[in-house]
Amino acid sequence: MTHATILAAAGLTQADLTGGTLPVRSPIDGAEIARVHETESREMPAIIARSQAAFRQWREVPGPRRGELVRLMGEELRAAKAELGALVTLEVGKITSEGLGEVQEMIDICDFAVGLSRQLYGLTIASERPGHRMAETWLPLGPVGIITAFNFPVAVWSWNAALALVCGDPVIWKPSEKTPLTAIATQKIMDRALARFGDAPEGLCQLVIGGPAIGDALVSSKDVPILSATGSTRMGGIVGPKVAARWGRPILELGGNNAMIVAPSADLEMAVRAIAFGAVGTAGQRCTSLRRLIVHRSIRDDLVARLSKVYANLPVGDPRKAGTLIGPLIDMGARDRMLAQIARAKAEGGTVHGGQVVEAITGGAYIRPALVEMPGQTATVCEECFAPILYVLTYDTLDEAIALQNEVPQGLSSCIFTLNLREAETFLSAAGSDCGIANVNIGPSGAEIGGAFGGEKETGGGRESGSDAWKGYMRRQTSTVNYSAKLPLAQGVTFEV
């Protein structure tokens, strides 16, 4: 399919694609595929005001009815899965199965949120005072600003939007400037669901496109009480304090420097497969991508030999073609940063396998993944590079391996391959991994939507998607009802007047 065919199939019109100021290029061949209209900064106060007005209506709609909108969104996504998945591939460079998988993730979170809409439950709490009932209730909080990154251009929006909507909150979405087309197509899908729903307030789901000034309007506004931002640690270091300074609630999903510990008892065939997808899937451009391989000394040579063979044969190329496993990096800047990181690793004593630019493919930033044997956990290893670089480190004891894993500033995802129960349980204990995600005998990426997603330290501490992440989009209210004829005070205090 041509670029134009994919864009048209996704419902994008000439008005969407032309006449704007923001150029959009496909990483597949570097071709400019659109010039998108940007939201003007002066429009942001009115957009936020519409969201506030929508909130005053939407919070009064019963939760299960709010869930019906998300159910319709899921239906529309099912109908548009192939077209939206192809657009993700065109705009981001993901291989076809990953583009489709991202849309499936959106469908899955819609299903989760529909069930959640009937389970926004609080607690009944035992009161110390006779004739009193104490309880907590979860209530809508207000508009949610959603700032998403290029690597998951639509799934991360859906994690936030599906939960926010059933919780009673409107959403304002600012996508990455590198991936506005998938956002426009998704907004059109959402608009179809809203039309079928019938009585949703205007301004319930809005899309704004532009650079830092547009994002800062959401970050700085007191009328946007929740701000969910996905991106780099540098970005989070700016956004988090700004939101906190105005007493807002930040939900931050930032960098990862994820490790796998491979123990002597590990099933190496399974480990190799998990390493390959974890390290090179999405061309290493996942926040959960595997970046560090911490291998027991007794099996290091064997594992490195296996991986070197696999890396040498990984098919790099056009992500739309069958058999391709690694598409392009998002742009030439990402390629240059990868090459610079490899050069620094070499200077620190690293031995590099792979990492060459694929000169035979022009237009896009195609580069072979790099496997880098390091003498230790250097400054370069501790720095996340959003590219398919995997550093190999050696350990002798499990305590040493866990310490190496936890030594970096980031704390998103982690895993261990072992058949030893004690090692697995130690890894999952308070003395083990310090990450928000800890897996045994699976890689660090490819999280399911049923669990809360997020990490600690410089990853930001935010949680999205499953489990009780919905509570981040609501306010908790504790209430006490006195149904007796007396007025006892708590803690035995007496105050007679």
Instruction: Reply yes or no on whether 435 is catalytic.
Output: no
Provide the token pair at 268. Answer: 């190496």
Neighbours of 494 (CB within 10 A): 6
Contact between residue 157 and residue 179 where contact means Cβ atoms under 8 Å apart = no
User: Active-site residue among 110, 167, 205, 287?
Assistant: 287
One-letter amino acid for residue 410 of the chain = Q
Query: Catalytic pick from 38, 68, 102, 253?
Result: 253
Contact 446, 242 (CB under 8 A): no
Which residues, including other chains, have CB under 8 Å from residue 321's CB and lie 6 or more apart? none
287 noted as active-site residue: yes
- The span from the CA of 113 to the CA of 128, in Å, is 36
Residue whose structure tokens are 């599906």: 162
Q: Which residues are catalytic?
A: 253, 287
